[in-house]
Each structure stands twice: as C-alpha cells, then as structure tokens.
Amino acid sequence: MSTEGSYYVPEQSKLPLAAALGMGVMAFGAGSWVIEGGTSTVFLIGTLIMAMVMYKWWSIVIQENTQGIVSDQLKHSYVLGMYWFIFSELMFFVCFFGSLFYVRVLVGPWIGGEAAVGLFDDTATDAAIANATHLWNGYDATWPPLVTPDQTVNGDVAKFIGPQEAMSFPGWSQILGWLPLWNTIVLISSSGTVHVAHHALKEGNRKKFVQWLGLTVALGVIFLFLQAEEYIHAYQELGLTLESGIYGTTFFLLTGFHGAHVTLGTIMLLIAFLRGLKGHFNEADHFGFEAAAWYWHFVDVIWIGLFIIVYVLG
C-alpha cells in the first residue's frame, strides 16, 4: 500500500518490448498486405501479439488501481500520458489531411498544366501552351479524378483506373441512402451517449452509467458495420479501390485510419463497460473510463472534419 506523498514504481517488465515487437510485426504485415500478392497472415500475427500484450498490461494496471497502490501523482501521469497520446494521434491526421490538401490544391492543377503557364509570354498560342504544360495530354485536372493521368495516356491498358463514381454527396434525392451521412449520425449520437454515461457516473448512478455506456459500444459497432458496407459498395459498385489512383489511395487511407481508431475506441469503451458491470469506477476514481471517453470524443471530432472535407466537399 502506498502512503501519502509516495510514488508507486512498478516492477521491471518485458511488456514494452513485446508491444514493440507486436507493432513492428503489424506494420510489416500491413505493408506486405497492400503489396500485390501479399497476405494478411503477418498482420494478424502482429495483431494477436498486441492483443495479448494489451490484455496483460491493462490487467496489471487495473489490479494496481483496485488494490489502492496507485498514488495521486501516478494518476496525474496517466492523465498527461493520455493528453500526449491523443495529441500524437491528432498529428497523424494533420499529416493525412495535409497530404489530401497538397494533392487536391497543388498537385492536381500542376499536372493539369497550371504549373508552367506563367513561363509563356502573350505571343504564345493556346496550342503551344497546352502542348508544353500538360504532362498528360488530354488529362482534365478535376477532383475527385474519375479518370487518372495513367488512364489518359495508356487508355484501356492503364494500370490505374479511376472509379465510375465518387463517394461525394449524391444529391438530395438520394441522401437517405448515403452511408457516410448515417455514419455521421451514429458517431455524433455515440458522443452524446458517452457524455450521458460520464455524467451518470459522476452522479453515482451506476445503472444509468452502464446502460448508456453499453449503448455507446453498440453505436461504435454499428458505425464499423456501416463502414464495411460502404467499402463493399465502393469496391463492387463504384469501382473505387486502393488502385484507383490518388483518389482511391487518399480516400481509403483517411477513412481506414479513422476506422482503425474507432475500432480501438470501441474496444476501450467495451473494457470500461465490462469493468462497470463488475463494480469498478466510482464518482471520484474513474480515469480508466474517462480516458476512453476523451479518446472517443477525439475520434468523433476527427470524423466530422473528415466527413466535411472528404465527402461533402469531395
């Protein structure tokens, strides 16, 4: 047991090394998976290692807290660690959104011919400018690109074929069947339900806390199901794949990376839900749940930005 003013120092552990191994295997497996001819086996092995490590690690932290050996100073370090973790995740999305901005606002117009227009004087003919500035003759630099530059040059034998249709707003007549809208409604609703659960816990209403937290987990699962349906629709009906040029790459990178965060957040909330059923957490000590709630709100905010930029303005 800790005394006031003391700082609990856990015993040495090999779990950080095991976590590093799991993440390394996952990264290598993910890279191999997207390469033509690769399989998901290595990625799944890395995922299994990480699942085992996190189960053991979280079990130890939960046991330490329930035994009362965690000091207030250590709990504060948990808060700071969660702050920095969310900030680091935010920087990932800043990079990905920045890449999308670079492609849409700069690269597209450049390869469409705008890069060198200023090099010509007033005597140059339109034909001369067009021949000199278009790296891919006949390519129309629009977003989202339904026709790729490779397709423009090589025609039917092009390696990268654009999709038949984009994932952007389909029009008011089809809005009720637009999956991204329903995903947005589900995720925003889940942010509200986890907020209600948080306040219920602070008020000491455990039954209400468990009910609303369970509803939040269910909404997270529904979101992932709808996103899977969206991907199936994109691949099978719209022709939008990872090989659909830069549009397919940026679309699946942003939405897929966010989907991975929703998966992690759902697992975190599920663990908090199961702990709530066991009587864990109280009005004054519930950071395990609170950290998951912070992360969930972060995921919701990122989705709103993604929905506007990728789908509405897409």
* Pairwise CA distance, residues 97 & 309, whole Å: 9
For residue 290, CA distances in Å to 34, 137, 192, 282 come to 35, 56, 14, 11
Q: What is the pLDDT of residues 74-83, one digit of tens each?
A: 888 889 999 9
pTM to 2 decimals?
0.85
The region of weakest confidence among 18-22, 101-105, 130-134, 242-246 is: 130-134
More confident of the two residues 63 and 184? 184
Q: What is the mean pLDDT of the chain?
A: 86
* Pairwise CA distance, residues 305 & 261, whole Å: 15
* Pairwise CA distance, residues 39 & 36, whole Å: 9
Whether the CB-CB separation of 145 and 158 falls below 8 Å is answered with no
Domains and CATH numbers, the chain: 12-70 (1.10.287.70), 73-97+161-314 (1.20.120.80), 110-157 (no CATH)
What token pair was written down for 19? 């976590």
More confident of the two residues 249 and 39? 249
**Phi, psi angles (nearest 5°) of residue 121:** -90, -175
DSSP class of 286: -
Nearest to 169 by CA among 159, 157, 156, 180: 180
What token pair was written down for 213? 């937290």
Q: What is the CA radius of gyration of the chain?
A: 24
Confidence of residue 136 (pLDDT cuts 50, 70, 90): low
Nearest to 303 by CA among 182, 216, 172: 182
Single-letter code of the amino acid located at 200: A
Confidence of residue 137 (pLDDT cuts 50, 70, 90): low
> Which of the listed ranges 11-15, 142-146, 168-172, 182-186 does the model predict with the highest average pLDDT?
182-186
* Pairwise CA distance, residues 87 & 82, whole Å: 8
For residue 125, CA distances in Å to 119, 261, 283 come to 13, 52, 75
**176 φ/ψ sector (left φ>0, alpha ψ -120 to 50, else beta):** alpha
Whether the CB-CB separation of 257 and 96 falls below 8 Å is answered with yes
pLDDT reported for residue 230 = 94
| Mean pLDDT calculated for residue range 161-171 | 85
DSSP class of 119: G
Nearest to 270 by CA among 182, 180, 190: 190
* Pairwise CA distance, residues 167 & 207, whole Å: 41
* Pairwise CA distance, residues 288 & 294, whole Å: 10
How big is the chain, counted in residues?
A: 314
